[in-house]
Every structure is written in structure tokens, then in C-alpha cells.
A = this chain, B = another copy of it.
């Protein structure tokens, strides 16, 4: 199996933004993009599979077994740029896989003329923060002015990014696509963080010119936590090379 995208239907979009929110620190990207998909009732149109994902299968919402994957949704935006959303269960287990997955996405979506890439992630403050900041990093200095009216800080106290949130901007730049990375401040030791997610969403709301109802953020994130918790636990075990992990009372592990 090579990293590949299975397209179920052609997305009805014109020069869309690509908005990426994957798993990571505080899972800010994953929860924010999941909430956006839910709020905007975006349509799923493709799935990405990769041999660089952990060799784990999980149950989907219908209790059916499935491979870990990343998913793509589109939103035909009446008031702004069309959007393709990317989210999913996991990121690559190797550096080489990270580069391959981002390249595969950009090559496959090249047909739709991505206008700009926006990635969402978290950065770890190491402690509980009452009012999480949101930082922006751009691929080219001149596009920063597009975001003057947002609450994002561009003071560059954040200097580097690990994983897909950064690679999408860096590799996108080599493909000639502008990019913005939005990072919400989060303690780093929490599985999810509704407060950071909400702060990030406010900025995305303004950029996409959409309306978000924040009433269900906590509830939706709690639902997501079940899946996040399972995968994170298993990946942690795999990374420690524990292929013959002993089970626990809740029957989490299987050989």
C-alpha cells in the first residue's frame, strides 16, 4: 500500500482554501476542524490511507472496524472562499511518511487550485493558561497583512513547528501556495482543550467569513475525546515498542 487518497465524489469548490487540523498537542487542530465540519455541515468527499500510519484499526461510529485514516470535506461558501477541510485519526509514524503524506495531498488536490493553506495546531505552554493566546505564522511576510483584523499575534515568539501543521506550510510554499499556521496556546498535558479550540475558531470564523455557534464546543469535544484517547494510548504503547502489551480492565489492548 502506498499513501493514497480515495476520492468518493468531486468536491464542488472553486479555488478553495485548504484548512488542515490533525492530531497533535492538545489536539487543538483536530477538535477545531471537526467542529467546523459539523457546524458548516461540510460534505465528506475523500479519505487518505497510508502505510506510515500506525498499524492499528479502530471501530467507527457504527461499531465497524476500519483503518486509521485522514478525511477530506468540502464547504461551498456563499460568503467567502470555498473550503476543503482535512482532519483525521493520526499523523505519520516516521519523518519520511510525514513528507510523503503532505506531498500526496498537495499533488492530489492540485486539480482544485488550492488558494491558500491554513493549518491549525497547538503549542504547549506547560501550564494552565486562563486566556489562551493564538499565534499566526505565515509562509511569506507579505501575506501577513491579510490577517490584520484577526486576534492572532504575529510576534514570532513561536519559532518552530513539529509535524504536519508546519510541513503543509513549508511544502506548500515549494508548490507555490501561500500558507498560514494558526496555533492555540494549550497546557500540553491535556488530551483536548475546549478553551484553546474556541479561541482558534474565532480567528478562523473571521478568515472564512462564516458564523459559528460556540454553544456545543464542550459537548462535541467530549465526544471526540473517546476516539482521541484510544488512539493516543495505543500510539504511545507502539512507540515504546510494546508489541505484547498487557491488557487492562477495560479491554483496551489487543494483540
Contacts and interface: CB of A to CB of B under 8 A. Distances in A.
Given A57-B170, A65-B166, A67-B170, A250 B157 contact: yes
A252 B185 CA distance: 12
A141 B64 contact: yes
Contact of A64 (B59, B138, B234): B138
Interface in A194-231: 230-231
B255 A24 contact: yes
A63 B156 contact: yes
Nearest to A181: B65
B63 A255 contact: no
A65 B169 contact: yes
B160 A254 contact: yes
Given A160-B231, A163-B255, 12 more contacts: A55-B162, A57-B167, A59-B137, A65-B181, A95-B238, A123-B253, A124-B253, A159-B251, A162-B245, A165-B255, A188-B255, A235-B243
Contacts of A230: 159-160
A147 to B, nearest CB: 13
30 contacts: A6-B174, A26-B255, A28-B255, A51-B96, A53-B95, A54-B95, A55-B98, A55-B167, A57-B161, A58-B159, A58-B161, A59-B156, A62-B141, A63-B138, A63-B156, A64-B141, A65-B181, A66-B173, A67-B174, A93-B95, A122-B255, A123-B255, A124-B251, A126-B246, A158-B251, A162-B255, A185-B251, A239-B241, A239-B243, A240-B241
A16 interface: no
A121 B230 CA distance: 19
A176 interface: no
A171 B1 contact: yes
Interface of A is mostly: mixed
Interface residues of A, number: 93
A121 B59 contact: no
A188 B253 contact: yes
A49 interface: yes
